[in-house]
């Protein structure tokens, strides 16, 4: 390999990796905010994203709604559906058993329902393009070629993450969410409505999924199975630390960049295993993840 090719691969790998990584980071963020407040991973996260993508497709393509209407409406639908699932289904499951395993099973059920709805609508089987929200013309950053859409994806993902960090750090609602995550009983004693906070967290997780869907759908083509990309969101959350919001973001970028660099410098066949090798390495060196807190053992 010549030096110029090495530099090209490196620059392109990092540029493309940061773009895809920003979407993985969003998904990881959505996973982590739910996990922190409910201690149950949401296995429907990918299909929440897929569902939001199809809502947007329906509005933009089939109903010909302008983006200024379709985008906010998609985000509202994602918020409401996710919050209602928490309020109407998960709350009952939690009340009846209290076991996180049952919550996980319920999220898996939600995932199947969403996929079934999309397939049942007859639009989920053919790979479909999603109208890009920005131009797909390429520009060069040194030797790396990226599209304007790529830059919009990266910028929008960073802005979304910054907005959520600000909300968690500086607003009363964010502080209430963190309190529920740290100690729900104490939060309840000081007047936090736990049920409402859980619904809001799920709703916000739906909003993040919808934004991820709007950003990534033009790049990966839509099918009812597109939610499987969430595997990389989980990988990102594990690498960053399952209870760390900044960790989720860093994990997303690590996965995105490592996928591309492994694909470019080693082999295309290795792309699918790269995230799992990264997880393995992190778990060996730092089992709690790069930004995770101390591991704790629960006595049962």
Partner 1 sequence: MRSKLKTLAVALPALMAALSTAAAADPGITDKTIKIGMFAPLSGPNAAYGFDVANAAKMYYDKINKDGGINGRRIEYILEDDRCDANDLVAAVKKLVEQDQVFLLNGGSCSAATVAAKDFVVRNKIPLIMLNASGDGALYPPTDYIFGAFSISQYAVGGAMINFAEKTFGVKRLAYVNHDDAYGAWNLTGAKVDAAADKVDLAVESVSPTITDVTAPFLRLRASNPDALLIVTYARPAALLIKKAREMGFDKPIILSVTGTANLKQLAENVGGKGALKNLYIQDVLADAPGGPKIKWVYDMYKAAYPELAKEPDHPQTYMPYGVPSAEAIVRALKAAGPEPTREKFLAAMKQEDFDTHVMAGPVKFGPEERAANKSTVFMKYDGSSLQMLPGVYTTRWTYKN
Q: In terms of CB distance, is 96 or 268 closer to partner 1?
A: 268
- The distance between the two most distant Cα atoms of the chain, rounded to a whole number of Å, is 65
Q: In terms of CB distance, is 60 or 262 closer to partner 1?
A: 262
Among 80, 159, 272, 281, binds partner 1 (CB under 8 A): 272
5 binds partner 1 (CB under 8 A): yes
Q: For residue 147, what is the enclosing H or E element?
A: strand 144-147
Q: In terms of CB distance, is 51 or 124 closer to partner 1?
A: 124
Pick the closest to residue 208 from 256, 165, 151 (CA basis).
165
Q: In terms of CB distance, is 99 or 138 closer to partner 1?
A: 138
Site string for partner 1, 191-230 (x = CB under 8 A): ----------------------------xxx-xxx--xx-
Quote the least distance from Cβ 126 to partner 1, whole Å. Answer: 6
Footprint of partner 1 on 123-142 (CB under 8 A): 124-129, 136, 138
Q: In terms of CB distance, is 196 or 219 closer to partner 1?
A: 219
Structure tokens given for 113: 């329902």
Quote the least distance from Cβ 21 to partner 1, whole Å. Answer: 10
271 binds partner 1 (CB under 8 A): yes
Quote the least distance from Cβ 128 to partner 1, whole Å. Answer: 7
Structure tokens given for 28: 């990881």
Structure tokens given for 226: 């597109």
Question: Which residue in this structure is represented by tokens 């699918």?
Answer: 272
Cβ(242)–Cβ(70) under 8 Å? Answer: no
Footprint of partner 1 on 245-264 (CB under 8 A): 259-260, 262-264
64 binds partner 1 (CB under 8 A): no
Quote the least distance from Cβ 56 to partner 1, whole Å. Answer: 16
Query: What secondary structure letter does DSSP report for 86?
Result: I
Q: In terms of CB distance, is 1 or 300 closer to partner 1?
A: 1
Q: In terms of CB distance, is 41 or 256 closer to partner 1?
A: 256
Among 185, 269, 294, 299, binds partner 1 (CB under 8 A): 269
Query: What secondary structure letter does DSSP report for 146?
Result: E
Name every residue whose Cβ is closer than 8 Å to that of residue 111 and which is 6 or more positions away in sequence. 43, 44, 46, 47, 227
Footprint of partner 1 on 96-125 (CB under 8 A): 119, 124-125
Name every residue whose Cβ is closer than 8 Å to that of residue 121 and which is 6 or more positions away in sequence. 54
Structure tokens given for 254: 């690590």
Footprint on this chain of partner 1 (rule: CB under 8 A): 5, 8-9, 12-13, 16, 20, 119, 124-129, 136, 138, 145, 147, 219-221, 223-225, 228-229, 259-260, 262-264, 268-269, 271-272
């Amino acid at each position: 390999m010549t030096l110029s090719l090495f530099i090209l691969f490196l620059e392109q790998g990092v540029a493309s990796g940061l773009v895809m990584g920003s979407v993985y980071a969003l998904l990881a963020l959505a996973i982590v905010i739910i996990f922190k407040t409910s201690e149950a991973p949401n296995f429907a996260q990918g299909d929440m994203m897929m569902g939001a993508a199809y809502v947007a497709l329906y509005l933009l393509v089939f109903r010909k709604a302008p983006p200024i209407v379709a985008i906010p409406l998609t985000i509202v639908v994602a918020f409401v559906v996710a919050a209602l699932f928490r309020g109407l289904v998960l709350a009952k499951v939690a009340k009846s058993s209290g076991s996180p395993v049952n919550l996980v099973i319920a999220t898996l059920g939600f995932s199947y329902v969403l996929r079934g709805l999309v397939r049942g609508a007859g639009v989920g089987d053919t790979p479909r393009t999603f109208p890009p929200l920005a131009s797909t013309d390429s520009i060069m950053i040194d030797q790396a070629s990226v599209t304007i859409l790529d830059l919009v994806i990266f910028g929008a993902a960073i802005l979304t993450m910054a907005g959520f960090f600000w909300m968690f750090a500086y607003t009363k609602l964010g502080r209430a969410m963190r309190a529920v995550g740290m100690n729900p009983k104490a939060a309840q004693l000081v007047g936090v409505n736990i049920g409402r906070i859980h619904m809001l967290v799920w709703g916000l997780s739906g909003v993040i999924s919808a934004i991820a869907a709007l950003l990534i759908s033009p790049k990966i083509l839509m099918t009812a199975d597109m939610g499987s990309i969430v595997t990389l969101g989980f990988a990102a959350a594990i690498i960053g630390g399952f209870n760390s919001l900044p960790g989720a973001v860093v994990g997303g970028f690590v996965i995105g960049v490592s996928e591309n660099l492994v694909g470019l410098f080693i082999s295309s066949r290795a792309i699918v295993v790269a995230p799992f090798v990264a997880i393995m390495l992190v778990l060996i060196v730092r089992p709690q993840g790069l930004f995770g807190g101390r591991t704790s053992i629960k006595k049962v």
